[in-house]
Amino acid sequence: MGAPTSDLPLRADGRRADQLRPVTITRRFLEAGEGSVLVEFGGTKVLCVASFTEGVPRWRKGSGEGWVTAEYAMLPRATSSRSDRESVKGRVGGRTHEISRLVGRSLRAVVDVAALGENTIVLDCDVLQADGGTRTAAITGAYVALADAVAWAQRKRLVKPGKQVLTDSVAAVSVGVVGGRTVLDLPYEEDVRAETDMNVVVTGSGTFVEVQGTAEHAPFDRAELDAMLDLALAGTAELARLQAAALAAEPSDGSATRAAQGTGVTA
């Protein structure tokens, strides 16, 4: 069974077992895009760009409902050694496809597609640097980019200003059992040796969207599962606070805004 998170030695990076890595959310990172965010979970850096277009896929036409989807990819040198671009290989890999669908599902869980109207928002999530937790960082950053895109569309009256398109916020974090204890927000060096690895997607109100867990080296029991979910709820609550802080900052000059864990918000 995983040991309690308190009264234990610090992790290799100096964190407690129940502590997130330093998290930074920088809005308006690019000039292009109706929403753009650079999200950083420690050494993991993901660029999330939201693109708003009028109209919906053919199978959605006439429904009166919109669509939100996502595409996820990694730069060739996001990791310690270069990987070929999937466009060169001529096909999208299974992992890439799986994560793209996860990000899209997570965002749609907090979108009222009827309020969006027959419009489409695509989130492109590109991993610039990977150090574990790329999919959870992508979901967390993509929500902020999505919120900016919705606000942009309402200002342009492409979506009715009075409509509440976003019903809640959504964020995600990894948890696991490493060396017999439950830990939050695993970097790569913990992820590769974890007995159990889990990704948890949670709304701002504390309800679960998705739980993906695998016993990599040893099965886990109910107590460990409960401990991991408790850590995930605490971690995503902090991420929701950072998302709200980033979205609350509105500089008049249109420059980037940043919310950083432990440092408040600066513009």
Q: Is residue 70 part of a domain?
A: yes
Cβ contact 92:86 at 8 Å: yes
CA distance 222 to 236: 21
Q: Is residue 257 part of a domain?
A: no
Rounded to 10°, the helix 134-155/222-248 angle is 40
Cβ contact 46:127 at 8 Å: yes
The secondary structure of residue 184, as a DSSP letter, is E
The amino acid at 176: G
* Beta-sheet strand order (sheet of 181-184): 181-184, 170-178, 196-203, 208-215
CA distance 115 to 37: 24
Q: Is residue 265 part of a domain?
A: no
Cβ contact 190:131 at 8 Å: no
Task: Give the DSSP per-residue string, 46-106.
Answer: EEEEEEEEES--GGGTTSS--EEEEEEEE-TTSSSS----HHHHTS--HHHHHHHHHHHHH
Q: Is residue 99 part of a domain?
A: yes
End-to-end Cα distance, the chain: 45
Q: Into how many domains does the chain fold? A: 1
State whether residue 108 is helix, strand or coil.
Answer: helix
Per-residue pLDDT tens listing for the chain (267 residues) = 444 445 568 999 999 999 999 999 999 999 989 999 999 999 999 999 999 999 999 999 999 999 999 999 988 778 677 877 766 666 667 778 799 999 999 999 999 999 999 999 999 999 999 999 999 999 999 999 999 999 999 999 999 888 899 999 999 999 999 999 999 999 999 999 999 999 999 999 999 999 999 998 889 999 999 999 999 999 999 999 999 999 998 754 445 566 676 433 332
Q: Is residue 13 part of a domain?
A: no
Write down the pLDDT at residue 82.
83
The enclosing domain of 157 has a CATH number of 3.30.230.70
Q: Is residue 230 part of a domain?
A: yes
User: pTM for the complete prediction?
Assistant: 0.90
Q: Is residue 262 part of a domain?
A: no
Q: Is residue 169 part of a domain?
A: yes
Structural domain range at position 203: 23-249
CA distance 22 to 251: 23
